[in-house]
Amino acid sequence: MKWTRKHLLGLEDLSAEEINIVLDTAESFREVSTRKKKKVPTLTGKVVVMMFVEPSTRTLTSFSLAARRLSADVVGFSRGGSSITKGETLIDTAKNIQAMGIDVIVLRHPAPGAPHLLARNLDASIVNAGDGTHEHPTQGLLDIFTMRDRLKRIEGLTVAIVGDIKYSRVARSNIWGLKKLGARVIVVGPATLIPSHIEDLGVEVCYDLDQVIPECDVINILRIQLERQKSGLFPSIREYARVFGLNTERLSRAKHELLIMHPGPMNRGIEITPEVADGRHSVVLDQVTNGVAVRMAVLYLVAGAKG
Ligand code: CP
């Protein structure tokens, strides 16, 4: 099978074969980051715009490095310094940027569906770098890449995704990707943070973290979005940490080869203790390293696709 997609909007749209093409392409690119001269000429002459309308540390840095390692020209864009603050619409802003001759727009936006809107209205390739609570496809891909790299398979793995499932784009992209590749996915968290009918996506639901830990090959801990506490979705931070926080005591019943992941940014001492975040099961920084190779693969594939 050949890659034909001009955009990467989400993992819901991708087939298992397409996900594997991204993972295999990322595998071939990861070596570039270990070279003294960390660059290949693959995207020479292409222009990639980082359109981040929401804050980011990891994704923005990772996409920028990925594009530079492929020799693309990279243009930065942030909401604060742009005419979006003067009321310009997203489509008008993007069309103006496109008129300067760009090939790929990497978009992070608080509105679910914003990348899809640009994909319908522009000629450039659009890559979703996180759209509201909807999807964060490259985070899902780099999480799956890290699991495959460490455990040598995805099919048959038991993966628990723990925390704020309801508002997490990372959870949604992981669920779509993992289910397509044959993993068993269990979502764990307070009932108020688990969407009704989530089972329709093929996942199991559990409200007791201690019950699932011994079965897991991977535990992906989500950031608890502290701003949600005001909305009464969980009683207190201390209560959340007590019931759903991953700590050393809980891990005493885990498999020896368990992987612990977190997309970042971490709330140390809330969803994960510092000992676990920095402990022997943690692959949090591997995820970040692998993210560059995965994003190189995505930029290479969409920039080369005819659509
Ligand atoms: N994982 C992630 O999306 O992190 P940033 O918000 O820092 O990009």
**Distance from the alpha carbon of residue 64 to the mean position of ligand 1, in angstroms:** 13
Note the pLDDT of residue 233.
Answer: 75
Note the pLDDT of residue 229.
Answer: 61
For residue 139, the ligand 1 atom closest to its alpha carbon is 1
**Distance from the alpha carbon of residue 103 to the mean position of ligand 1, in angstroms:** 23
Per-residue pLDDT of 93-142, as tens digits, reads 999 999 999 999 999 999 999 999 999 999 999 999 999 999 999 999 99
Note the pLDDT of residue 36.
Answer: 93
Residue with the smallest CA separation from ligand 1 atom 3 is 59
- 136 noted as active-site residue: yes
Q: Report, as ranges of residue numbers, the positions in the chain whose pLDDT lies below 50.
A: 307
Sheet holding 47-52, edge to edge: 73-78, 47-52, 104-109, 125-131
**Distance from the alpha carbon of residue 62 to the mean position of ligand 1, in angstroms:** 10
Residue with the smallest CA separation from ligand 1 atom 1 is 263
Note the pLDDT of residue 44.
Answer: 96
For residue 62, the ligand 1 atom closest to its alpha carbon is 8
**Which of 57, 62, 107 gets mutated to test ligand 1 (max ligand atoms within 8 A of its CB)?**
57
Per-residue pLDDT of 229-248, as tens digits, reads 667 777 788 999 999 999 99
Residues in CB range of 116: below 8 A, 6 or more apart: 9, 131
For residue 55, the ligand 1 atom closest to its alpha carbon is 6
Note the pLDDT of residue 35.
Answer: 92
- 36 noted as active-site residue: no
Amino acid at 102: I
- 58 noted as active-site residue: yes
